[in-house]
Amino acid sequence: MDTHTDITVLDNLMALNLDVNIWTARKKLTPADFGGAELPPGELASLGSKKVCDPKELRVFGTLKARAVNLLDRTGVRFLGGWAIPETIADDVVAELTLIRDDFLAAKQQFLSRYDEAVRDWINQHPGWEQLIGRSTVSADYVRSRIGFKWQLFKLLPPTDDAVHQGLQDEIKELGGTLFGEVAKAATDAWNRCFEGKDKVTHKALSPLRSIHKKLAGLSFVEPRVVPVVDLLDTAFGRIPKRGYIRGSELVMLQGVVSMLRDPATLVAHGQKILEGKDAGDILAGLVADAIPPMPEDKPVARVKHVADPVPQHAIDSHGLW
């Protein structure tokens, strides 16, 4: 798959680094915790950790971090250890991150307000191990310093130094490939959850495809073949009935689209064909025609005409459909 993003893409992008810290409620086990019992030497085995508080008390922080990561994955593309997001929606992304941060800080305050009680409950749940846990407890102030939610949003400009410029250019030119790879991952998840083995689906099955569409539309400037893929999805959505189950040729078309999205090389190849003048509707018709098995000669049946040219060296994996 040959993709290349030009450094001028920086004109439309903001870089965002998400910095979320969550206290693990764990402390390293030491030989003293075992009362002088003989232990294997360090080069043979290492001690693990002990939990000084119920991990369930901390789940909310992991959930909120996952919400933030999901937001950035839906709107941006991984870049420089963080995300590149379209400058046009940066304010909206920050507004959503702010809501998540507010929930995170409220959960932090609630946890800290009952921290001592939570530790006592944990000790009471493990009679006989009071000293093991009690020796490792830390103060609420320490825990407060280990729980945080923040981010940094910044604008990148091409540097004037050639050596630094080359390093940044190397990162930027991979953005298109990264974007198509992320789409493939999201499409594979959609296939497994919504489409595999189904003979009918509800309109809820379109939700992950609409998320992919929104992400690609927002990042359409990253790679020339993104816009044709957005057009292809628009055409597919326009052929779905407004209500009721999605089945028959419409479902086969969607399954073909998802299979195409799952393969970055095939996706790029179809995007290139549309750039070269191929009609998106013809490609969708080809997906349906390819998915319908030939009928016996004594039972002729009208079939959708296959008007889409085959894509050299990038045949769509049927994934059990045909």
Question: According to the model, what pLDDT value does residue 313 have?
Answer: 42
For residues 116 and 183, membership in a common domain is answered with: no
Whether 168 maps to a domain, the answer reads no
pLDDT digits (tens, 9 = 90+) for 246-274: 999 899 999 999 999 999 998 888 888 88
Question: According to the model, what pLDDT value does residue 107 have?
Answer: 98
Number of domains in the chain: 2
For residues 204 and 257, membership in a common domain is answered with: yes
Query: In the predicted model, is pLDDT for residue 321 greater than 70?
Result: no
Give the percent of the chain with pLDDT over 70. 80
Q: Using the 3D structure, point to which of 93, 120, 154 is the last residue of a domain.
A: 154
pTM: 0.80
Whether 312 maps to a domain, the answer reads no
Q: Which domain holds residue 23?
A: 7-154
Whether 298 maps to a domain, the answer reads no
Encode the chain in three state secondary structure: CCCCCCHHHHHHEEEEEEEEECCCCEEECCHHHHCCCCCCCCCCCCCCEEECCCHHHHHHHHHHHHHHHHHHHHHCEEECCEEEEEHHHHHHHHHHHHHHHHHHHHHHHHHHHCHHHHHHHHHHCCCCCHHHHHCCCCCHHHHHHCCEEEEEEECCCCCCCHHHHHHHHHHHCCHHHHHHHHHHHHHHHHHHHHHCCCCEECHHHHHHHHHHHHHHHHCCCCCCCHHHHHHHHHHHHHCCCCCCCEEHHHHHHHHHHHHHHCCHHHHHHHHHHHHCCCCHHHHHHHHHHHHCCCCCCCCCCCCCCCCCCCCCCCCCCCCCCC
For residues 202 and 122, membership in a common domain is answered with: no
Whether 108 maps to a domain, the answer reads yes
For residues 14 and 133, membership in a common domain is answered with: yes
> Which has the minimum average pLDDT: 26-30, 51-55, 240-244?
26-30
For residues 149 and 184, membership in a common domain is answered with: no
The pLDDT confidence band at residue 276, using thresholds 50, 70 and 90, is: confident
For residues 148 and 205, membership in a common domain is answered with: no
For residues 148 and 191, membership in a common domain is answered with: no
Give the residue, 222 or 287, on which the prediction is more confident. 222
Whether 321 maps to a domain, the answer reads no
Whether 169 maps to a domain, the answer reads no
Whether 311 maps to a domain, the answer reads no
For residues 238 and 128, membership in a common domain is answered with: no
The pLDDT confidence band at residue 217, using thresholds 50, 70 and 90, is: very high
Whether 308 maps to a domain, the answer reads no
For residues 216 and 131, membership in a common domain is answered with: no
pLDDT digits (tens, 9 = 90+) for 99-130: 999 999 999 999 999 999 999 999 999 898 88
For residues 28 and 137, membership in a common domain is answered with: yes
For residues 147 and 183, membership in a common domain is answered with: no
For residues 53 and 100, membership in a common domain is answered with: yes
